[in-house]
Amino acid sequence: MPDQYLNLRRAPLLLLALLLPLSLAMAAQDDSHLQIDPAAPIYQRSVFLHGYAHGYELGFHSGDIDLHMSRSSRDPRTIKMFKDSKRVYQRSFGNRDMFINGYEQGFRVGYADAFYGRDFRAARELRTLSQQMQDIGGQQQNAGSHQISNSSEFDKGIADGYKKGVNNGLNDARSSKAYHPENSECSRKSSDGQFCPAHRLGYELGYSDGFNNQRKPEEDVKTAKERGETH
């Protein structure tokens, strides 16, 4: 294939790489995740999942670019955008460490999903969790144009459940066991009663990420554009 043709195919991806830093700055100023995203209710209550959503999106873009450019898989920690959580984060989001933790987890998963030809499944799964969250109560307070939860127990439950879910999902997939994301165990009591219900939601997402991590890459992997995905 002529070098000129390869350069033409790569031009849009190179332009995307140049524009991403600008898009990160704009995202930090006007965060649609907290306003118009169908999963906004759960992002408003979980800083961890809010960070996860940002990280997954940028990780997916990075993985899809590497796939499209026929590069070898990279350790996500070596990719510049992996460290961009500090640029995306705003004080109004809540706990900084929780946001960065979620961002880094999401980036790893998003990168792997794109590079190995899987779909952009985080949006679907996070919207499902947001719907399941409606039964979990909690005080809310005004924060600009959106709502932020007063309780940190909900977010701690999400993060702890996610970590345990990832480990169990990995182990079940490696042992060729059936997919059972509902096997969350939680005995911790919190003053507002939110930790264990949130733990269950975090476990469900983490289990899915861990289990899918062991799926074999498709023989004929395609880029997100070729798969007809929009996000």
% of the chain with per-residue pLDDT over 70: 72
Contacts for 145-150: CB closer than 8 Å, 24+ residues apart: 145/34, 145/35, 146/34, 146/35, 146/40, 146/44, 147/44, 148/44, 148/45, 148/92, 148/94, 149/44, 149/45, 149/46
Residue 96 has pLDDT above 60, yes or no: yes
How much is the pTM?
Answer: 0.77
User: Any idea which of 88-92, 109-113, 179-183, 218-222 has the lowest mean pLDDT?
Assistant: 218-222
Residue 230: both structure tokens together: 């929009």
* pLDDT score for 30: 61
Neighbour tally for 71: CB within 10 Å: 11
At 102, which amino acid appears? G
- Residue 7: per-residue pLDDT: 40
At 205-224, the pLDDT tens digits run 999 999 998 876 553 444 44
At 115 the pLDDT is 93
118 vs 215: CA distance, rounded Å = 9
| Listed ranges 100-114, 125-139, 191-205; the one with the highest mean pLDDT | 100-114
Report, as an integer, the average pLDDT of 89-104.
Answer: 93
Tokens representing residue 125 in the block: 């799964």
Phi and psi based region of residue 70 (left: phi greater than 0; alpha: psi -120 to 50; beta: remaining): left
In order of 141, 164, 174, the CA distances from 144 in angstroms are 10, 34, 45
* DSSP conformation letters of 55-89: HHHHHHHHHHHHHHTTPPP--GGGSGGGGTHHHH-
